[in-house]
Amino acid sequence: MRIVDIIQNKRDGIKLSDTEIAYLLDEYLEGNVPDYQMSAFLMAVYFNGMEKHELKVFTEKMMNSGDLIDFKGINKILIDKHSTGGVGDKTTIALAPLFASFDIGTAKLSGRGLGHTGGTIDKFESIKGFTFPETKEELVELVNECGTGIMGYSDKIVPLDKKLYSLRDVTATVSSIPLIAASIMSKKLAVHADGIILDVKTGSGAFMKSLDDARKLAKTMREIGDSLDRKVVTCITDMDQPLGFAVGNSLEIIEAIETIKGRGPKEFSYLVKTLAAIGLQLKGDVKDLDKGRQMVEDMIQSGKPAKMLKAFIKSAGGDENIVDDYKLLPTAKNSVAVYAKDSGYVNTIEAETIGKAAMVLGAGRATKEDVIDHAVGLILNKKVGDKIETGELLATVYYNDDKNIESSKQMILDAYTISNTQTKERDIVIEIE
């Protein structure tokens, strides 16, 4: 078998056999296929896609390229909620203790942030003393103890994805729906979960800018899940403006805690309740989502989720008192207000630009080596649909180093479009399937 023939078949739209896919990926992982040939193959996939069976085999091969984690010994149902990423996305921090309150376990691998989006690992690291388990056994112990265990991705999970992603990044092939679906699903499937909830973001701050593409990605990932006998629910949600008001690590921790105490932003609270209700459906506790949301609301009112979060932080070695006293979190030395330059209604808030405004303050990384400042970030004061007067507060910026403060403020002003007509806020939850 020759690699060039496999590339040619994909280029000409001829369906690849299982052996061709396996040969290509095995040889690439072994270092026997040069990057220029794999780049050509990825570009052929970019233009011609992959049909269902090809994608199943491709994803399964990726999944099996490294360790598989089975989580034997966990005494509860495990649900993995994964988001395709966005700005101000602190959902896991609120959802994990809610799940734990219903005896649904979270045992997941999470990433660090890069570019305009943040990472769950960075957010938890805002908490003094907080450490992540390093072995599967430690993670299992945590989940059994307090319902939640989160650890960083190791290089041993789907090593093929790491290699392919780096290549896609420099060959303009990241935005191929089958390649994104295989990349996400291979990592989800390599780690055992009884149910997978995929929060597929769409809008200006998301990978999938259009709803149509988000639908295609969601469907492709569900099909991969089905083909490999895994339960997958997709939830397409809005990322056309930042999620909630807070962007920045400790600021987002506070907003997530407020949400599980019943005082979160309206749209973020609704998203969290919906995802938790989907979890209850997967567990078999409820059939109807509205009923599920009501159960979640009642649970929030009981105060248990905040207690479960405290238990998780304590088990991870962190200072659990932050749940009651936010001053124990890193706090920026300075703050500055950004005022509106026009009157009218907020039409759009370019989420990616808001993410960058927080990143240049130190809340995120421009390169993998950058060190995060957990204290800094911003709190928006106006969201899409809100009325605003000239000179009214648009956002507050929290910072330590004033080097990039002016550019951050300018980015915030640029991110907002204000016009005379009121735009209706988009629903946060767009489609569930």
**Footprint of ligand URA on this chain (CB under 6 A)?**
84, 165, 174, 180, 183-184, 207
Distances (CA, A) of 184 to 54, 261, 341: 16, 31, 41
Q: How many residues does the chain have?
A: 433
Instruction: Give me the least distance between CB of 321 and ligand URA, in Å please.
Output: 34
Q: Comparing C-alpha atoms, which of 176, 207, 46 is closest to residue 114?
A: 207
163 vs 273, beta carbon nearer ligand URA: 163
Could you tell me the two tokens for 245? Answer: 């008001």
Instruction: Check 82, 136, 293, 365 and give the catalytic one.
Output: 82
Tell me the sheet residues that pair with 195.
79
Instruction: Check 65, 83, 183, 269 and give the catalytic one.
Output: 183
Instruction: Give me the least distance between CB of 184 and ligand URA, in Å please.
Output: 5
Contacts 24+ apart (CB under 8 A), 277-282: 278/197, 278/233, 278/235, 278/432, 279/79, 279/81, 279/95, 279/99, 279/102, 279/104, 279/195, 279/197, 280/102, 280/104, 281/233, 282/77, 282/79, 282/194, 282/195, 282/197, 282/231, 282/233
Instruction: Check 187, 215, 216, 222 and give the catalytic one.
Output: 187
Instruction: Give me the least distance between CB of 179 and ligand URA, in Å please.
Output: 6
Active-site residue flag, 269: no
User: Which residue number has the CB closest to ligand URA?
Assistant: 183
Strand residues in 258-343 grouped as ranges (E) = 334-339
Please provide residue 120's backbone torsions phi and psi, each rounded to the nearest 5 degrees.
-60, -40
Instruction: Give me the least distance between CB of 132 and ligand URA, in Å please.
Output: 19
Instruction: Check 123, 168, 374, 409 and give the catalytic one.
Output: 168
Cα 253 to chain centroid distance, Å, stands at: 15
Instruction: Give me the least distance between CB of 35 and ligand URA, in Å please.
Output: 17
Rg of the chain taking only CA atoms, in angstroms: 22
Active-site residue flag, 426: no
Active-site residue flag, 215: no
Q: Comparing C-alpha atoms, which of 120, 81, 143, 121 is closest to residue 308?
A: 143
Q: How many CB atoms lie within 10 A of CB 339?
A: 15
Instruction: Check 161, 238, 240, 373 and give the catalytic one.
Output: 161
16 vs 158, beta carbon nearer ligand URA: 158
Distances (CA, A) of 34 to 25, 31, 60, 249, 412: 12, 7, 22, 39, 43
Tell me the sheet residues that pair with 345.
387, 419
Active-site residue flag, 116: no
- Cα 269-97-325 angle, rounded to 5 deg: 80
Amino acid at 30: E
Active-site residue flag, 187: yes
42 vs 254, beta carbon nearer ligand URA: 42
At what angle are helices 18-29 and 35-48 packed, to 10 degrees? 140
Instruction: Give me the least distance between CB of 201 and ligand URA, in Å please.
Output: 10
Instruction: Give me the least distance between CB of 183 and ligand URA, in Å please.
Output: 3
Instruction: Give me the least distance between CB of 178 and ligand URA, in Å please.
Output: 10
Burial (0-12, 13-18, 19+ Cβ within 10 Å), 304: middle
Catalytic residues: 82, 161, 168, 183, 187
